[in-house]
Amino acid sequence: MKDYYMDHAATTPLSKEALEAMMPYLTTEYGNASTVYTYGQRAKAAIERSRRTIATTIGAKPSEIYFTSGGTESDNWALISTCEAGREQLSKTLQPQATAAAVDQKYRCSSKASMKCGHIITDQIEHHAILHTCAYLEKRGFDVTYLPVDHEGHVDPDAVMAAIRPDTLLVSIMVANNEIGTLEPIAEIGARLQKHAAETGQRILFHTDAVQAYAHIPLDVDELKVDLMSASSHKLNGPKGVGFLYVRRGVKLPSFLHGGEQERGRRAGTENVAGIVGFARAAELACGVNTQVPALTCGVKPQPMSSSASPDTAATSTAGAHAAASSLAPMAQRIAQESVVRDHLIKRLLDEIPYTSLNGDPTHRLPNNVNVCFKYIEGETLLLLLNEKHIYASAGSACASGSLEPSHVLTAIGIPHEDAYGSLRLTIGPETTIADVDEVVDLMKPIIACLREQSPLYQAISAHPS
């Protein structure tokens, strides 16, 4: 029986090209990039080439890219290190004006002598890598504002600005939700935070978790006006266990992992050379980067290359508009293709399966994401029965599987608990066709009908329709 992999938001298959790029560094090119001899220097050169490739995909400078073990580490680093450094700076700024106790009372911070102020703004539907890190920071004495979202999962930029306090250190809002696919107004929030800084002098760092969005939609750090961005390789046909954190030049972000001097002294640990190379190759293919003719992609506007440009500038410059346009084509084509398949799948589910509703924004969503609720069934049972038909999907975030609670994302957008238990997330890939999703829907329909036949509530409603 044919397999139908419909869970690309959980992970993606490693591409042949990424594996081929990795193989030398898993076999003959095994040098440690921190050593001075030839083997190590070849490994170091491979890492720096990969850094330039990744930087190009988001319009960043190579020196602003730090390789990590994945999105979770990047999120933890961004939040914890920003807050710890910010609290130290804030205490130096505020303590000359008031006693620690007065500062605590004014800004509603912990009254413990070892704790100072610090406030974070995020939202209720972030990935657990953000929410659980915020919970950790709350235990450390920081205050966190969890903004509500509307029924489609949008964060209101007005609400972000209204939540700002004198001790606000960081705003963290994801680019796209990992469960329902809704795209957030990151550029608008970033612009308003910059305006706030210009008008008040209060510089609040802006972080975005782009794990689900990176290399799936165009992203440019200058257009988004973000200071920190997290991404992960295995969401774009790269290897597991590697990601990056973008840190805008000028942002003083302390180390999160302590030890050696890797990643320019900011992220200790022997580099995963093979993983980094595979990540860069996967990003290169997904974003359409031409490493022979440097071109900015993922929505970055081409800029002329100066003969006196610095290495950072040269690495993120373009050889002309033609190169930039051609490099953007693979992503644009994939977005268009996936959007057609996604919309066809949504239409069939809503038209042909009664009591089905779409979760998230119907149009302003990731091109590969479909999330629906089937009333009067239990999602976990549905997943097991779909698995028997070789259909592989999820009831929400793979990182939260095993939880007995309904999705925090669905409850935050107002879905009743009993309906949230019947959710299903289907995330397609570039290889998924209209024929594939037609076969999936055809296989799903009798399964859902059978499950509803066993539901007393469904039987009662069917017997007495309104």
Q: What are the catalytic residues? A: 399
Question: Measuring CA to CA, how many Å separate 15 from each of 20, 242, 285, 326, 405?
Answer: 9, 15, 10, 22, 34
Angstrom distance (rounded) from CA 176 to CA 110: 33
With H, G, I as helix, E, B as strand and everything else as coil, classify residue 309.
coil
With H, G, I as helix, E, B as strand and everything else as coil, classify residue 334.
helix
Q: How do strand 369-374 and strand 391-392 relate by DSSP bridges?
A: unpaired
Placement of tokens 């003969």 in the chain: 307
8-state DSSP, 214: B
Residue-wise DSSP of 346-376: HHHHHHHSSSEEE-S-SSSB-TTEEEEEETT
DSSP alpha helix (H) spans, 234-370: 262-265, 273-287, 311-315, 321-352
Closest Cα partner for 62 from 383, 314, 255, 326?
314
Tokens of 90: 């804030």
Query: Residues 154, 123: contact at Cβ < 8 Å?
Result: no
Residue type, 414: G
Please report, to the nearest 10 degrees, the dihedral formed by the alpha carbons of residues 281, 282, 287, 292 taken in order.
10
357 CB contacts (<8 Å, ≥6 apart)? 350, 372, 373, 375, 419
8-state DSSP, 235: G
What phi and psi values does residue 43 have, to the nearest 5 degrees? -65, -45
Q: What is the 3-class SS of 77-125, one letter each residue?
A: HHHHHHHHHHHHHHHHHHHHHCCHHHHHHHHCCCCCCCCCCCEEEEECC
With H, G, I as helix, E, B as strand and everything else as coil, classify residue 420.
helix
